[in-house]
Amino acid sequence: MDEKLDPTVIAEMARKGITSLTGRNMRASFSLFFTPKDVVGIKGEPGRAHLSSTQNGDCRCGIAWLAANGIPKQNIIIWDRFDSC
């Protein structure tokens, strides 16, 4: 399968989901879930179908949001069964 995921679309989907859930913008939403001192784990989902599993763009989007709000990159842990993130 040659389909590629668009990081801009992924970021917009994440923004819409988070702001719809919280009723706040991305920066204000952050403090509802995390503090800059937290250690955050991102667990990938290695689904069978290529586009239904966690992709690098998904991980990058989450890392960017966390880092932009003050969580040091060394406090962001990513794993999945196949090390695809």
Is 2 a member of any domain?
no
DSSP conformation letters of 26-84: HHHHHHHH--TT--EEEE----SSGGGS--HHHHHHHHHHHHHTT--GGGEEEE-TT--
CA 2 vs CA 5, 12, 50, 51, 80: distances in Å? 10, 22, 10, 10, 22
Domain extent, residue 13, equals: 7-31+40-79
Per-residue pLDDT, 22: 97
84 assigned to some structural domain = no
Residue 53 lies in a domain: yes
Encode the chain (85 residues) as per-residue pLDDT tens digits: 456 777 788 889 989 999 999 999 999 999 999 999 999 998 776 665 555 555 555 678 888 889 999 999 999 998 766 555 5
Answer yes or no: is 54 within a domain.
Answer: yes
Which residue in the block uniquely carries the two structure tokens 């890392």?
63
pLDDT at 10: 83
Domain total of the chain: 1
The neighbouring-strand residues paired with 40 are: 76
Domain assignment of residue 85, yes or no? no
The confidence score (pLDDT) of residue 6 equals 79
Domain assignment present for residue 70? The answer is yes
- Please report whether residue 26 resides in a domain: yes
